[in-house]
Amino acid sequence: MTTPTIGVLALQGDVREHLRALGTLGVGALAVRRPSELEACDALVLPGGESTTMAKLARTFELFEPVRDRIKRGMPAFGTCAGMILLAERVEDGTADQETMGGLDITVRRNAFGRQVDSFEGDLAFAGLDSPVHALFIRAPWVEQVGEAVQVLATVTHGEAAGRIVAVRQDHLMATSFHPEVGADHRIHSLFVDLVKQS
């Protein structure tokens, strides 16, 4: 099979880190700022950042509807932190004008782990990986509810947030509350690349 091209929505947030992670896995990685760049992609990463700002910028750059449409038609997508919020069908504690692109049958709680000062990191067991991943949470959401078709990939195992869902997959869509693009462990990106190749 030909090497897939995976875009990273490049309007705000951890764009460079995702492009670097994808590049190390040998796939084509492309920063996406306009509809023509989206058309050149087989899949899309929605990075961490600020979900309401990203949605507004996507509207400004005429990317919001094209991304939503491609996801509906089966384009694989991977959302991290704010990207998870953008892929969710439902948002708790959102702003009055909160918009999502949807696709994942989940309810997320925005800033569930608290403010920037409440950011933390820890090891998580992750479905499909044989050893834990080191997860960095920055003003992260968590998943309050999942639909029947959603597979839970990781939950927090200790502390006040024990049991909270922080990674999910549904068909061609994947999302994490945390930032797997930070650091040198690209196994979660590798799982997404596998998903893209299967699609």
- HSE of 41, CA atoms in CB hemisphere, 13 A: 27
Rounded CA gap, 178 and 82, in Å? 9
| Catalytic site residue from 81, 99, 172, 186 | 81
Does the annotation mark 92 as catalytic?
no
- HSE of 70, CA atoms in CB hemisphere, 13 A: 20
Does the annotation mark 181 as catalytic?
yes
Residue among 71, 103, 81 at smallest CA distance from 90? 103
173-176/77-80 β-pairing: parallel
| Catalytic site residue from 17, 41, 99, 179 | 179
| Catalytic site residue from 17, 41, 99, 181 | 181
- HSE of 87, CA atoms in CB hemisphere, 13 A: 36
Does the annotation mark 41 as catalytic?
no
Give the active site residues: 81, 179, 181
